[in-house]
Amino acid sequence: MTHYFETPSGAGRERQVRARFWDTEWTFTTAAGVFSGDGLDQGTAVLLRSHTPRPGSRRMLDLGCGFGVIAVALASAAPQAHVDAVDVNERALDLTVRNAAAHGVGDRVRASQPDGVAGDVRYDEIWSNPPIRIGKDALHDLLLRWLPRLAPDGLARLVVGRHLGADSLQRWLIAQGYRCDRTGSAKGFRVFEVAPLESTTDAGLR
């Protein structure tokens, strides 16, 4: 069986979906074979309805971008920012490029495979609805690859289902040397703000 974190074979059944957050109505193109291809998933909705990017952020990452909802939203809300959208699913990357262009932010959203991001890039913000179903070890490897790319005052916002191990993930992140505060909770999901312990970023800053 093909999973959304693999590039699917065959034609994708595309459709237009609508979502509302940040007092805005959004339309995105989705397709079969990508994460939440039928529309905005509940976890991402909780994340976007509870937080917005910081005004001064200029480089942001959408980790596991799917069809590009977070990347497009961040670039739209922060016109000074450039957003890297990373996924291993080529169909998802294509949809992200198209959705970014449709929303007028295609020049500031760069969609790529993980290895396509330069190793010296540092992020003011990382946003993610991480792929919990890849397994605990793979998830930990994923986070340990990208969280060290936070700038000294950078932060990550992660949304994780409570029943999918959100609380244990919070404990693990703290054990790895990160500050990890819960800054949102709704519909069975936790939103965490993650930052290096030496960060001067105020917890819960929105």
Half-sphere exposure of 31 (CA within 13 A, CB side): 21
CATH number at residue 107: 3.40.50.150
Residue 142 structural domain: 15-196
Q: How far apart are CA 62 and CA 112, in angstroms?
A: 11
> Is residue 204 situated within a structural domain?
no
How many CA atoms lie less than 13 Å away from 183 in the CB half-sphere? Answer: 23
| pTM summary value | 0.90
- Residue 9 in any domain: the answer is no
Domain total in the chain: 1
List C-alpha distances in Å: 108 to 17, 38, 103.
23, 26, 11
pLDDT (0 to 100) of residue 133 = 85
pLDDT score, position 144: 97
pLDDT digits (tens, 9 = 90+) for 156-203: 999 999 999 999 999 999 999 999 999 999 999 999 999 998 754 444
- What's the average pLDDT block by block, 10 residues per block, for the chain (206 residues)? 46 86 96 91 96 97 97 97 97 97 98 96 97 93 97 97 95 97 96 82 41
Beta carbons of 40 and 15 less than 8 angstroms apart: no
How many other CB atoms are found less than 10 A from the CB of residue 177? 11
pLDDT at res. 200 = 41
Residue-level pLDDT at 36: 87
DSSP class per residue in 9-77: PS----EEEEEEETTEEEEEEE-TTSTTTTS--HHHHHHHHH----TT--EEEEES-TTSHHHHHHHHH
Please report whether residue 146 resides in a domain.
yes
- The answer to whether the CB of 121 falls within 8 A of the CB of 145 is no
Does residue 124 fall inside a structural domain?
Answer: yes
